[in-house]
Chains A and B, each alone.
Chain A
Amino acid sequence: MAKSQNKTETKKAQKEKREIVVPGEKIASEEDYLPGEWTKKEGNSIIALRFGLADKSGRLVKIIPLSGIYMPRKGNIVIGRVIDITFNGWIIDIDSPYQAFLPITECSKFVNKNDLSECYDIGDTIVAKVLNVKRKGIDLTTKGRNLGKLEEGMVIQINSNKVPRVIGKEGSMINLIKKESDCEIIVGQNGVIWIKGPKVENELFAQKAILFVTEKSYIEGLTEKTKEWFEKSKNKIEKKNKEE
């Protein structure tokens, strides 16, 4: 009896740890907690500034946003689309409020200065790293391992706030999806995901799995749930194949 009570109490504590809040909502009183990311002190209480999960760890309370646009940060790996070519570089759409710029000097390959489209053409999808974010704009680089133009495969888009859930703790989620679907996957911090598999069916399966994760992003212990989901959907596919 005492044990079960203990369990429910710990469950309660976990639930209290992460609560969905909306902007303006009172999360905690000032005496018990300190305001962290996306929160503000108002009077004697701490209020939320964004829609998301309120995370109380130690004395700090912060919000993990569940919606909103992608704001680039230095060092982020992003996937973008070349939308224009200038005399000294490329303009990249990375699905944020600002366009990004990739200068010639930050391209890893040799570039013919008379024809930049030989290297990256308009419409190409590239993986890049955010070099710096300044008031003038965002600079990218493709110098580095696994950066540059993407060939084949397909690209899907999710909300950038759900990227951490898709990757999971130390990449547990993304490794699970990679293993189960037999695909290569690159997740950009801007919510753009590139998938390449041996067959289109594998890619679509990986896409389904990622959409499942984004839909259930507020659940605790999501990796276990996703494992169950994989088993279920695999059984379904086997059944279908048998019927055929």
Chain B
Amino acid sequence: MEISNLTKKRIKDYLESGNRFDNRKLLDYRNIEIETNVSKNAEGSARVRLGNTEVVAGVKMDISEPYTDHEDEGTMVTTVELLPLSSEEFDYGPPRINAIEMARIVDRGIRESGFIDFKKLCIKKGKQVWTIFIDIYSINDDGNLLDAACLATVSALLTAKMPKYDEKKEKVCYNELTSKKIPLTKNVPLTFTFHKIGKSIILDPSKEEEESSEARLSIALSSNKKEVVINAMQKGNEEVFSEAEILKIIELAEKKYKEVKEEIINKIEKNLKENK
């Protein structure tokens, strides 16, 4: 059943006094858990938990022809599948608008940041390049699938290893992973989705808060050495943001990026060490 109007009003009023139902502050994230190499068959994979929200992302590599306007660059395909298991709102069948939007936000955040060095993924100019397939599955939806999906994707890419390519047979040997990693730069992209409920702006909404959200703005950021750069933005839901609110959000996003980036990279590295 959809969330009741009474509960919506309670959330709104309670947020105005600066509190949330689960005792978090307005811009606090839930506990972030990252688990890498969860899939045997994928070149790289990760499971991310934000409270009860759970997302799994996997990376597969294959050889394909490049686009004619970028003959010396590899390509990337992102798909999101919202499994009916994860929420009663999702159904089987071709991806709906929310899944398509999510895939595009994740894709754009990574592509525009220059996180993947596509030029190094070229094998033969104009003929053969590597393609990266990113598949994202929602396991449980307790709000904020979007940020969790972005985190899972970045973690999966960071841990992925290239499969061996047999040039004579022109085939990829999936059972022989090399120790080489996907060519990545240091611009780690992260996406933060801000939600507006009443006058309050919050991060990492729970399911209830997400359902009572009036407007949302996703900001994809990456950092180039010292500067933090905004790579992409996406606005959703019916209500509007004022100019002042957007400027405030951008400021908050930059601050949050610096805070969270270290934490996440540490968590991934720790996880990789434990796996060895």
| Residues of A in contact with B (beta carbons under 8 Å apart) | 80-81, 93-95, 123-125, 150-157, 192, 194, 200, 203-204
A215 smallest CB distance to B (angstroms): 13
Which of A80, A81, A95, A204 sits near B21, CB closer than 8 Å? Answer: A204
Q: Are B10 and A150 in contact (CB under 8 A)?
A: no
Q: Are B4 and A155 in contact (CB under 8 A)?
A: yes
B67 at the A interface (CB under 8 A): no
Given contacts A200-B13, A200-B14, contact A155 B6 (CB under 8 A): yes
B179 at the A interface (CB under 8 A): no
B266 at the A interface (CB under 8 A): no
Q: Are A93 and B1 in contact (CB under 8 A)?
A: yes
Which of B1, B2, B6, B19 sits near A154, CB closer than 8 Å? Answer: B6
| Nearest-neighbor residue (CB-CB) of B13 within chain A | A200
Given contacts A81-B1, A157-B1, contact A203 B6 (CB under 8 A): no
Q: Are A152 and B1 in contact (CB under 8 A)?
A: no
Contact code string B253-264 (vs A, CB < 8 Å = 1, else 0) = 000000000000
Residues of A contacting B13 in the complex (Cβ-Cβ under 8 angstroms):
200
| Residues of B in contact with A (beta carbons under 8 Å apart) | 1-7, 10, 13-14, 19, 21
| Nearest-neighbor residue (CB-CB) of B11 within chain A | A154
- How long is the Cα–Cα vector from A21 to B4 in the complex, in angstroms? 35
A203 smallest CB distance to B (angstroms): 7
- How long is the Cα–Cα vector from A192 to B2 in the complex, in angstroms? 11
Residues of B contacting A153 in the complex (Cβ-Cβ under 8 angstroms):
6, 10
A241 smallest CB distance to B (angstroms): 14
- How long is the Cα–Cα vector from A238 to B37 in the complex, in angstroms? 44
Residues of B contacting A192 in the complex (Cβ-Cβ under 8 angstroms):
1
Residues of A contacting B21 in the complex (Cβ-Cβ under 8 angstroms):
204
* A-B pairs with beta carbons under 8 Å apart, 29 shown: A80-B1, A81-B1, A81-B2, A81-B4, A93-B2, A94-B1, A95-B1, A123-B5, A124-B5, A125-B4, A125-B5, A125-B6, A150-B6, A151-B6, A153-B6, A153-B10, A154-B4, A154-B6, A154-B7, A154-B10, A155-B3, A155-B7, A157-B1, A192-B1, A194-B6, A200-B10, A200-B13, A203-B10, A204-B21
| Nearest-neighbor residue (CB-CB) of B22 within chain A | A204
Residues of A contacting B14 in the complex (Cβ-Cβ under 8 angstroms):
200
Q: A192-B1, A200-B10 are in contact. List 5 more A-B contacts (CB 8 A).
A: A80-B1, A124-B5, A125-B4, A154-B6, A157-B1
Residues of A contacting B19 in the complex (Cβ-Cβ under 8 angstroms):
200
Residues of B contacting A204 in the complex (Cβ-Cβ under 8 angstroms):
21
A81 smallest CB distance to B (angstroms): 6
Residues of B contacting A95 in the complex (Cβ-Cβ under 8 angstroms):
1
Residues of A contacting B10 in the complex (Cβ-Cβ under 8 angstroms):
153-154, 200, 203
